[in-house]
Structures are given as C-alpha cells and as structure tokens.
Structure 1
Amino acid sequence: MRHSVGDLGESGLLKRIFPRLALPEGTIVGPGDDAAVLAAPGGQVVLTIDSLVENQDFRLTRPNGHVTSGFDVGWKAAAQNLSDINSMGARATSLVVSLTLPANTLVQWVEDLADGVVAAITQLGAVGCGVIGGDLGKGRDLAVTIAATGTLDGRRAILRSGANPGDTVAISGTLGRAAAGLSLMESHHLSTGLTPGLTSLVNAQRRPQPPLAAGPAAARAGASAMLDVSDGLFRDAGRIAIASSATIDVDGEVVRSFAVPLQEAADLLQADPLEWVISGGEDYGLLATFPLGNELPKGFRKIGTVSEGGSRVTFRGQDVVGGGWDHFANG
C-alpha cells in the first residue's frame, strides 16, 4: 500500500526518516529535541541556508516528460548548500532540513528525498557531514530548506571582496552543463529518447557535482576571493567585481571552450551553447581569484584576470550587462 504523509502524520513520518540519517561526528544532541547541539572545532562556524520550492526551483513533471524524484530534490538541495560552504573555503559539518509538504505527498517520495540528501553528502565527498535535525510542516506546495554549517579548520574565510588588480581569475568545475540540461527538460524532446550525451546534461541539472575538495584547496593556495557559480558566470563574476571594487576581465577563448561539449544539445534545440556557459547556473563550480604568481590548485583553470576599478565584468573587451539568474526577475 502506498501511504501519503497525511496517512502517517508527523511522528510516523519522522520514524521513517530518522533511521535513514547518519549523525556526523561532533553531534552532542541530534534529532528529537527542540534543537541540535554540535561541537565547534576551531571556535568559528560557517553557516548558510537555501531553499528549493516546487514550481519555482523544480517541477514534479517537466514538459519533456521527465519526472522529478524525491531523490533528485534531496540531492540538489544538499548539493547547493554544500557548495555554499565550499565557496568560503570551508568544510561542511552538518545539515538541518526543513520540509513543507502537501498531505497527499507519498511517503516514498519523502523517503527518497532523505536518501538523496544522504547520498549527496556521501558521494560528493562531504566527509564528516550529516543531517542533525530539521522540521516538518504542511503546505500547498513542496518546499525543501536546508541550513548547513561548516568549519574553516583554522583558516580564514575566503570572501567575495578580496580580489586585487593583477590577480588570476580561475574556475573549478564545469560551466553550462546544468543550464543545457534544464533547456532539454523544458523542451518537447522526450527524456526517453535522448542520447547518452544529452542524458548526461540532464543529469548535471538533476544531480549537480560541486567540487567540494576545491574550496579548502583554494584557501590553502591563498585565494583572495571566491564564490560558487550558482546564478551564471557573468552575474557571479560581477558580484566579485562589485564587492572588490575591481574589473573582472574574462578570456573569451577559454570560456568558449566550455561550450564545445554542449554543441549536440545546442544543435537539437537551435540554441547558442555559449549563452548556457556565460548565463547558466547550477553547476556549482567555484570562481576564485589568486594573487599573481600563486600556483593554481589542482582542478582550477585560468579564465581571466583582475584589473583596477570599475566594479564591472568585461568579455572580449566589452562590458557585460545583465545575464544570469535572478529569482524575482526570472521567476
């Protein structure tokens, strides 16, 4: 029999979810009380929070027939928060998950969501991290909110405001793949008929792969500024430029190389693959600046330089205006 969350109620649902969660080391009080208690190694705690909301951040069914599983939503909700911790040069230590659910939501979907969160933690390499608690509530639409904590392991946090003229601009991870995957899911090319190459792009949107080892590595290598590319390369580069009162000069040829693996999808959808690269988000790679002469950590690739003043981004020598994702403008 397929139960809904309304059949089980809050207590019954929690009894199904708790055994799926592994508590991280350093948990003093876990799920079951009003709040969790954690040890704070190093005395500093990095904290972030993010949400995925049905019909805003995901759809249960896409135009091409793709059905969004609870596992996918759980994975992505965990990945985007782990990425935010990563972008500070920190290591994730715990997640707290809040779910808003219609009463007719299937229990299996919620169990799959819990499994997706745990799988993302494990497979993305967030060693020592786990789910320590959360909240359940009833609502019209599904919504998943995760708060994540992290530790700097004795290092300083890498902010957006530290870029200096002469710094190297570098990227770790991929650009444009998740955006291309989203375009495929929003098209009328059936998900069951996609080639392996196109399916890999859809998977990049479903289950992003933020490079979690890259954040601490960048901090150890002396990164001067950093953030994750969640809303598009140009928009996020602009955030570093504004915070650092500097100009980010993006190398056109290097950025164009990220568009080459997207050509099959671009041909099918009659789209410009470069647009996915420069404006698409949700690959959750890291954009960082490093002082001139510092060796780039493994996995980082130079894509530009920092120059004085302007608080702007240039591409092929031209100022960049707009681009990227804005929850309210694009929503």
Structure 2
Amino acid sequence: MSIAQTGEFGLISRVVARLGKPGAAVVLGPGDDAAIVVAPDGRVVASTDVLVEGRHFRRDWADAFDIGRRAAAANMADIAAMGATATSLLVALCAPPDLDIGWAEQLAEGLAEESALVGASVVGGDMTASPVLTIAVTALGDLHGLAPVLRSGARPGDIVALAGRTGFAAAGYTVLSRGFRTPKVLVDAYRRPEVPYAHGPAAGRAGATSMIDVSDGLLADLGHIARASHVRIDLLKETFEVPEQMRDAALALGVDPYQWLLAGGDDHALAATFPPDSLLPEGWRVIGSVHEGTGEVTVNGTAWPGAPGWDHFKPASGS
C-alpha cells in the first residue's frame, strides 16, 4: 500500500502508533497543533539536520529502520556535543506519493529506537508530498545545569581527545559505492552509527573546554574548533590504529585507510579539548594537542595532504 492510498492522516496514524511511549520530558506528544516538552534546566539546546535521498542515503544501501536511526543519531550527536542530553525530536517527512507505507512505518520505528537510547521521544512533525524523499529532524536537549561546551573554548596547552570511532562509516560508504556489501562491520557502521551519547555530558562535567560532533570528518570538524578558538590543533597519527578489516578493505580498494580515519564522516564520534593534565572520563582517549595558531589543523606537525572531510556543496566522493 502506498502513501497516496493511505492518505496523510492515515499515514500519521500509522507512524504515531510506532513511536512508542513518550519520555519523561514530554507533557504532550503528537496529536495537537504543537507538542509540549519540559525544560527543567530553563535552557533548551536545539539542533536540526536534513537527510536527502541520493545525497545522504540510498534505499538500496540501507533499509528504512536504519535510515531512521541515522536521522535521529545525526541530531542527537549534536546535542551531546554541547554537553547536553536529547529529550525530544520533531520530524518532517517529505515523500513521493508512491512510497510504500511500510517504509514510512519502519522509518518511524528506527527513529523511536535510536531516540530511546537516551530517553528521548519523537513528539511531532509534519508530512508532505515531494518528488525527493527528504527527512528533516530537529532535536531538543537539556543541559541538566551544566555550562554548554562550545567550539570556541580551546586554549594552547589543552589536550585533544576522542570518544567513539572514526573511519568505519566512511569505509562502509566506499565499500557500498564500489558495489560491495562486505566487510559487514564497515557496511553496518555506515548504515547505523554507534554514537557515544553519554560521553558528551561526561566531558562537560569533566571540564572540557570545547567539543564537536564528528559528522563531516575529524580534520574538518576540528577545524571548526581551531578557527572558533583561534588556535592550531595537531593530531598524532600514531594514536589511530587501523583495524584489520579496514586495512584489508583499504588495500583491496586502493584507499589510504587514514583518509577514512582522519577525514571520513558519519560515525558521529565526539572530539573535545581538555585542560592539560585532565583526568579524562571513561571512553575518551588522547589524540593530539592544542597550540598557538590561527585556525589550522595539522597531523604530526604538517598539513594533511588529502581532503579534510565532507563538504555538502561539493560532489560526493569515496572518502
């Protein structure tokens, strides 16, 4: 059955039925003109992201459930990177009328399952017809009394640390783009990121001076911190171990695996800076240091020769 056969309100009913029980932050969920959520901290952290078919996902590469999880993860990772926890999501779905209703239902299930990892809920949104399948998500979050961790707080002498993994999703993208479906660990990483949500607030409590979600590539995203903080960030290449399956895939595909590790996006790791001699929270590891500078990011003291990451207004590439 297609969306056109079901109709807008039939689609809404089917999708809402799959969103699960509202979380503790939800006063009023889907069903009225707007949702009502609580903000105990008195401040609301907000982020939005858009996924467009053919640009951010392909239905022949990932099913609707995984695409739903990716859509939620991309937003909730940004909330975590501020030192906050996501509480609720608003989702807009623009879909071709001939889209199968089951696909939309599975998308809702994926959104709900990923949101549940941090106790968040999908509280509303919008739907409309469109020739291009597009998913827009806005996430709201709570700082729980903490100061937000900005991009502009890094200082010379700070250490640079990473929580989560990099390179896996980019390697999976390259594998899929070359027409393969293995290694499974890489392909699955592209389809469904593993985001270290709890490590964001933990970094805030531990005194992180800056933080960012690694969505477009570690070098590119650390560049945002370097420019906002007016510093130079230097990464140590030897702190990045190439996993065996990634090394084998890189050899087979003729790719430098460090291009995936240092410049690949979509894993949604968290990168942060901490004062020197900080006791890092569990799950964080040192990968570099902060120096005097004017917004550069270097690797072992020199400029990285490849592309630093993803650019949404340039043609897609295998990195």
TM range (shorter): over 0.9
Aligned match of 2:278: 294
1:83-102 superposed matches below 5 A: 83-102=77-96
| C-alpha contact (below 8 Å) 2:219/2:262 kept by paired residues | yes
Correspondence 1:310 to 2:294: yes
Aligned match of 1:13: 11
1:1-331 superposed matches below 5 A: 3-21=1-19, 22-61=21-60, 66=61, 68-122=62-116, 125-127=117-119, 129-189=120-180, 191=181, 194=182, 198-255=183-240, 257-258=241-242, 261-320=245-304, 322-331=307-316
What is the Cα deviation at residue 169 of structure 1? 0.2
Secondary structure, counterpart of 2:166 in structure 1: coil
Letter in 2 for 1:207: R
Q: Distance in 2 between matches of 1:259 and 1:249?
A: 22
Q: Distance in 2 between matches of 1:163 and 1:203?
A: 33
Q: Which range is displaced more, 302-311 or 17-26?
A: 17-26
Partner deviation per Cα, 1:224-247 (whole Å, 9 max, x = no partner):
000011000110111110000000
Percent identity over the alignment is 44
Tell me the TM-score normalised to structure 2 length: 0.95
What is the Cα deviation at residue 26 of structure 1? 2.9
Letter in 2 for 1:290: F
Q: Distance in 2 between matches of 1:9 and 1:38?
A: 28
What is the Cα deviation at residue 133 of structure 1? 0.4
Q: Distance in 2 between matches of 1:275 and 1:320?
A: 9
Distance 1:260 1:228, change over 3 A: farther
Tell me the TM-score normalised to structure 1 length: 0.92
Alignment: residue pair count: 314
Q: Deviation above 6 Å: which 4+ runs of structure 1? A: none
Secondary structure, counterpart of 2:7 in structure 1: helix
What is the Cα deviation at residue 303 of structure 1? 0.4
Letter in 2 for 1:38: V
Letter in 1 for 2:177: E
